[in-house]
Amino acid sequence: DAKKGGRAENDVIVEQKNDDIDINLFNQRECYYLYYEIFSNGETRQQIFCRGTTLLADVWTCLKTWFVYDEELGCHVHYGFNQHANRIVEDVMPLLVPPPMLVDKRGITSDGKEPKVGSTMSHHATVEVCGHSLGGAVAMLVAIKLRKRGYIVTRAISLAGPRFCKGLEEREKLEKWLPEETLRIESDLDIVTYLPPNAVSVGDKLLLVDETNRTDAFMLPVEWIQEKARDHSWVESVWLNLRLFESLRHQNQTHHVSTYVKKLEQLVEDLSSN
């Protein structure tokens, strides 16, 4: 059939499936990188990297700042970031090692079915998620959604990520689902990390403070920020911490990944020399 210019039955099926896909979403769906490594002990490490704002559509995603209730998360979050996270989760799940099935004494899995013959208990397959800027906020949401779906997420890192929780109650709910190794890295001269100003972030915070000819670093654990005995919420206040005019003057430089990498490398070098 191929020599005659015809199409096999499978080709028709593929074409019909593609007809259902919105071509305009292709660029938006190319928004993450997936790497995996298989070790000699059988462990599989899967790493998801969520990119930052690149397309005009990404800008519109950031501008969808109203909060929506997500039933899976059980709280209100930034509409655009949550929509973006859902796209990544649905796209990446078929590429990941399936999550481990919980089997009770009767041999029945958590979904009420008998495990398939030859199915693997994926207890040695882990997932790590990180992202920059838009991807930083999305990475946190992706990590939480994957954990809720049974995946073993061991690390979540946000680099220069914006805020996405509606309030402190929402943050407390999401904190319970974050992996132990969760970190957001922010610069006090990066205005993106203060936006939107009516939202809050999650996870431990490594704050890079730019001084003359040097950068100081402060580790702010989320338990300290949320401490009820003493109010430390001021460290998250936009109005108290945003150095607006300096941030606007240096924004093109401070928000870049390379700038953060240089600051972190300098920090490691300083710690090593002390």
Token output for 227: 């401490």
Q: Minimal CA–CA distance to 60: which of 85, 30, 91, 81?
A: 81
In this predicted structure, what is the pLDDT of residue 121? Answer: 46
Please give the order of strands across the beta sheet that includes 152-159: 32-38, 44-50, 125-132, 152-159, 181-187, 204-211, 214-220
Percent of the chain with pLDDT over 90: 49
* Alpha-carbon 220 to chain mean position: 19
Residues near 264 by beta carbon (within 8 Å), at least 6 away in sequence: 185
Is the pLDDT at 122 greater than 80? The verdict is: no
Q: How confident is the model at residue 148 (pLDDT cuts 50, 70, 90)?
A: very high
> pLDDT tens, 211-268?
777 788 899 888 877 766 566 777 888 888 888 888 888 888 889 999 999 999 988 8
> pLDDT tens, 152-165?
999 999 999 999 99
149 versus 235: which is more confidently predicted? Answer: 149
Residues near 272 by beta carbon (within 8 Å), at least 6 away in sequence: none
Percent of the chain with pLDDT over 70: 79
Is the pLDDT at 61 greater than 60? The verdict is: yes
Quote the CA–CA distance of 97 and 93 in Å, as a whole number.
Answer: 8
DSSP helix/strand/coil, 265: helix
**Which of 138-142, 194-198, 212-216 is predicted least confidently?**
212-216
